[in-house]
Structure formats: C-alpha cells, structure tokens
C-alpha cells in the first residue's frame, strides 16, 4: 500500500516560536551547533491502489485547503514512498519501481 507524505512548514519569513524555544533549549543543554530550528507538520496518507496523477492532484488540493494555512505556512514537500514529487510533477517522473 503506497504512502504519500506531505510536509508543511511555517513560512520562512515568519517567526517560529516553537522552533525558537527548541533552539534555546538545545543551546542550554550544550548543543550550540544548532542555530535555527524550525518545527513543522508531517502528514502520512496510505493509499488503496495506485498513486495516479489524479490522486496526487487531490493530495495537493487537500494539502493546500486543509492541511496548511496559506497565510502562515507552506507545503514544502510531497513524496510517494520516499520519492519526492514536486508540485507540478507526476509519479511517472519517479524512478521505475518507486512512487507507486
């Protein structure tokens, strides 16, 4: 059963309070190498059947309309079984045997 993953992150130009708090906590714990942590959301969809262009179009619509708040968040990645699919690419562009 194929899995589609959608990653949503706060827009780069906006403050990420959770990320800032995590960055501070890491520094206090001695992990000063990490200067900017950003925290987002990950959604996983298991799909019954083949992942077609129509299914990907539907996932993109759901991601834009329901999973993210377009004012403050961006859908940064959509992948099928670990193969990233760009906003306008189809699964047919994925390497053979992957993404379906």
Report pLDDT digits (tens) over 6-60.
999 999 999 999 999 999 999 999 999 999 999 999 999 999 999 999 999 999 9
Maximum alpha-carbon separation in the chain? 48
Length of the chain in terms of residues written: 100
Residue 2 banded pLDDT, cuts 50, 70, 90 = very high
Is the separation of the CB atoms in 22 and 39 below 8 Å? yes
């Amino acid at each position: 059963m194929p899995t589609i993953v959608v990653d949503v992150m706060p827009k780069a130009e906006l403050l990420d309070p959770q990320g800032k708090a995590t960055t501070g906590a890491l520094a206090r714990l001695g992990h000063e190498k990490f200067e900017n942590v950003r925290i987002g959301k990950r959604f996983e969809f298991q799909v019954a059947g083949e992942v077609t262009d129509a299914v990907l179009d539907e996932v993109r619509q759901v991601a834009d309309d329901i999973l993210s708040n377009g004012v403050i968040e961006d859908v940064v990645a959509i992948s099928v079984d670990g193969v990233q699919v760009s906003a306008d690419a189809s699964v047919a562009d994925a390497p053979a045997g992957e993404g379906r």
